[in-house]
């Protein structure tokens, strides 16, 4: 029997300048997928004049998205991370290099390294149901490594 429960997922986020000691993330959302990652585009193709297909490999950033409970400790830390890395008029961003270590309920550990925060909200948002909207934070990395229980993929 395969147990596919995600209950118990945790992450530790380290940002080189803003959070050098890191912070835990466990307060995942109930109304948006708590952890998401888009499919990688590994190759591209084109066709010559006579229909000959040519292919080439394409490097891609390794992307993950966390959705967290609004105003939770994890959300407040992620908001601070976004603000620290935002650039603007008379504001230089922190230029954090981000590493995230995730532990799945199976014991598998996934570590993403040499990353950046790509998107995050700049203010609180309210849904039509009257509750705060879930905040999502997108990260992109150069490297990923896996160890532990589910390594056999």
Rounded CA separation 10/142 (Å)? 21
Which residue shows structure tokens 């961003």? 93
Q: What is the pLDDT of residues 17-49, one digit of tens each?
A: 999 999 999 999 999 999 999 999 999 999 999
Q: Is the pLDDT of residue 66 over 90?
A: yes
Q: Is the pLDDT of residue 152 over 60?
A: no
pTM of the complete model? 0.90
Cα torsion 121, 126, 127, 133: sign: positive
CB 11 within 8 A of CB 24: yes
DSSP assignment string, 54-109: EEEE----EEEEEEE-TTSHHHHHHHHHHHHH--BTTB------EEEEEE-TTS-E
Q: What is the pLDDT of residues 89-110, one digit of tens each?
A: 999 999 999 999 999 999 999 9
* 53 compared with 4, residue with greater pLDDT: 53
pLDDT score for 74: 97
Domain formed by 10-147, architecture: Beta Barrel (2.40)
Mean pLDDT of 69-89: 97
Q: How far is CA 63 from CA 1, 7, 139, 152, in A?
A: 30, 21, 6, 21
| Count of other CB atoms within 10 angstroms of residue 75 | 24
Q: Would you state the structure tokens that stand for residue 5, as one six-digit string?
A: 């429960």
Q: Is the pLDDT of residue 151 over 70?
A: no
pLDDT score for 150: 55
Q: What is the pLDDT of residues 3-21, one digit of tens each?
A: 889 999 999 999 999 999 9
CB 111 within 8 A of CB 126: no
pLDDT score for 145: 97
Q: What is the pLDDT of residues 116-140, one digit of tens each?
A: 999 999 999 999 999 999 999 999 9
Phi and psi based region of residue 4 (left: phi greater than 0; alpha: psi -120 to 50; beta: remaining): alpha
| Count of other CB atoms within 10 angstroms of residue 95 | 13
For the chain, give every domain's residue range: 10-147
| Count of other CB atoms within 10 angstroms of residue 40 | 12
pLDDT score for 153: 44
């Amino acid at each position: 029997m395969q147990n596919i429960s995600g209950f118990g997922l945790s992450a530790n986020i380290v940002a080189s300048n803003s959070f050098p000691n890191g912070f835990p993330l466990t307060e995942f959302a109930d109304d948006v997928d708590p952890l998401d990652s888009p499919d990688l585009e590994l190759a591209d193709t084109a066709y010559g004049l006579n229909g000959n297909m040519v292919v080439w490999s394409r490097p891609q950033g390794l992307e993950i998205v966390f959705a967290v409970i609004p105003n939770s400790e994890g959300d407040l830390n992620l908001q601070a991370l976004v603000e620290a890395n935002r650039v603007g008029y008379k504001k230089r961003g922190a230029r954090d290099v981000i590493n995230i270590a995730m532990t799945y309920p199976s014991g598998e550990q996934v570590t993403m390294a040499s990353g950046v925060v790509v998107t995050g909200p700049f203010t609180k948002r309210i849904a039509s149901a009257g509750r705060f909207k879930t905040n999502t934070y997108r990260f992109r990395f150069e490297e990923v490594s896996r160890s532990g229980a589910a390594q056999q993929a």
